[in-house]
Structures are given as structure tokens and as C-alpha cells.
Amino acid sequence: MSVQRYFKTLGLNQNVTAREAKDAYINLVRIWHPDQFSCDPVFKARAEEKLKEINVAYSEVRSFLSRQNKSYRFLGSHIQKISLTLSTCGDIVSQTGIYFFGISFLGHPQYLIVIVLFHYLI
């Protein structure tokens, strides 16, 4: 299942904060909690299924937002470092420094993020 489907299950778009996702999750749990349907076993069973879907969706969305946040922090810290290098060095030194900085991350686990950073700076 794609992450977009999990966001849709919670009634969210991908531009939400972790707090907004948690609020949506709590509201859906209140609505679909099986104890509210204790009089009707059919509705109670449906509510249990729906609650399982909501729990899985929230778990995946929370994980996605956490990974996204770590990626942004990683990218942001390196943009600051390179911006400082650019402001303190001449153009030729800065371009060479950026090139070697990018090369140094060839084996990094978040190499795609580094490529974006590298492209942004060039």
C-alpha cells in the first residue's frame, strides 16, 4: 500500500505536520472505537476492522513524517555548512569545495538527498 493511501485513510494530505496527523488519528479513533457500537455486533465488527486500518495508517504516516523530518534536518544542516563555505571563500575555491563535498558523499545512505543538495548549490 502506498503512503498516499495511508494519508487518505486518515483524511490528510502529505503537507501535514506530525501534530495534525496525530489530531486526525485521535478524532478517527473516537469515531470508530468499537465500544461505541456495543449494541450492534455487525457495526462493532466493522468498527474493529476500520480501527485496525486507522492504526496501520497512522503508524505508516508517522513513520513517513519522521523519515521526512530527518531528511530535511540532514539537508538543512548541510546547506548551512556549504552556505558558510560559499560566503567565506572565493568563487573558484567554493566551486571546488562543493564538488569535493559532493564526491565525499558517494557512499552515504542518503545519497539522493545529497544529490538534491549538490544540484541546488550548483
pLDDT score, position 11: 92
1-47: pLDDT as tens digits:
588 899 999 999 888 888 999 999 999 999 999 988 888 889 999 99
Query: Is 104:92 a contact under the CB 8 Å cutoff?
Result: no
Residue 56 is placed in which grid cell? Answer: 496501520
pTM: 0.59
Give the pLDDT band of residue 88 (cuts 50, 70, 90): low
Cα 38 from Cα 103, distance rounded (Å): 62
Average per-residue pLDDT for the chain: 76
Which residue in 27, 33, 25 sits closest to 55, CA to CA? 25
Domains of the chain and any CATH numbers: 3-121 (1.10.287)
Residue 5 is placed in which grid cell? Answer: 493511501
